[in-house]
Amino acid sequence: MSRIAQRFAELKAQHRTALIPFVTAGDPGPATTVPLMHALVQAGADIIELGVPFSDPMADGPVIQRATERALAQGVRLADVLELVRTFREQDTATPVVLMGYLNPIERMGYTAFAERAQAADVDGALIVDVPPEEGHELVTTLKTHGLDLVYLLAPTSTDDRIRRIGSVASGFVYYVSVKGVTGAGHLDTADVAAHLARIRAAVDLPVGVGFGIKDAATAARVAEVADAVIVGSALVERIEALAATPEHIPDSIGSFLASLRTAIDGARVAAL
């Protein structure tokens, strides 16, 4: 069983919803990332999603675009992100880490080289935003051969056929994009999310995380009632941006914000029982 599957199994046994923070690797500088990852775990993160900077992040809103630009300006590339994960693993071998990014840096490194290096760094999975299953056969095969989970997005526009197809290639979990839009978009409608999740669960035998539009403890708690995992990205990255000039404060400050989400999520699940 993969580390991600195991983590979800444990949470399920405890009737808890997973909390998955997203941060961009190397934002605002590479020295911040590993201490921040540890702080996230301390604050209750179950899985960490680490953004791999790319020059043209077409699925991301302004907050994560700017994070990407800060990281790229510091020279943080895919190889550096793998090195950051390896460093994180020196102290934490329990928390699953999923890389989230775009295909081109992986193409340039080569699928096999990437899979080998990710495996060596003890990465658990990857979510490549611009690779639908139609284009991903070789990538999926290569990554799975190296023990990596391939997380896929599902969207409000996904048809039942697409949901089934994605369910058949995804592993670890699937990530439901709760709104039509880019990362950091607003207007999360919990009832609508719940209806879509029912449709997804009927076709996909994997945990379902929900992200995009989770801004605070209240939205996190609402989503926790229906999802297997709450994914929060832009709300964290926005706070990181505000502290970019004093990066030494980032791990503590982001950690306490995440802890408030953890409390809200756990409270919601208890209330729902």
Q: Which residues bind another protein (CB under 8 A)?
A: 54-62, 65-66, 69, 72, 77-79, 102-109, 129-132, 134-135, 152-159, 162, 166, 177, 180-182, 185
As to burial, measured by CB atoms within 10 angstroms (0-12 exposed, 13-18 middle, 19+ buried), residue 140 is buried
Catalytic: 49?
A: yes
Given 46, 60, 149, 266, the catalytic residue: 60
Residue 125 φ then ψ, to 5°: -165, 175
Task: Confirm if 184 and 148 have CB atoms less than 8 A apart.
Answer: no
Distance in Å, CB of 55 to another protein, minimum:
4
Q: Which of 46, 49, 228, 266 is catalytic?
A: 49
Comparing CA positions, the residue from 118, 64, 121, 47 lying closest to residue 87 is 121
Does residue 232 contact residue 211 with C-beta atoms inside 8 Å?
yes
Q: Closest CB to another protein among 177 and 261? A: 177
The smaller minimum CB distance to another protein, of residues 102 and 257, is found at: 102
Q: Which is nearer to another protein, 3 or 66 (CB)?
A: 66
Least separation in angstroms between CB 260 and another protein: 28
CB of 49 to another protein, least distance (A): 15
Q: Which is nearer to another protein, 10 or 160 (CB)?
A: 160
Residue 56: CB minimum distance to another protein, A: 5
Nearer to another protein, 129 or 236 (CB): 129
Short-list 198, 233, 219, CA closest to 265: 219
Query: Minimal distance in Å, beta carbon 198 to another protein?
Result: 18
> For residues 137 and 249, which CB has a smaller minimum distance to another protein in the complex?
137
**Residue 178 · residue 209 · CB < 8 Å:** no
Which candidate, 150, 155, 129, 154, places its Cα nearest to that of 138? Answer: 150
Structural Rg of the chain based on CA atoms: 17
Active site residues: 49, 60
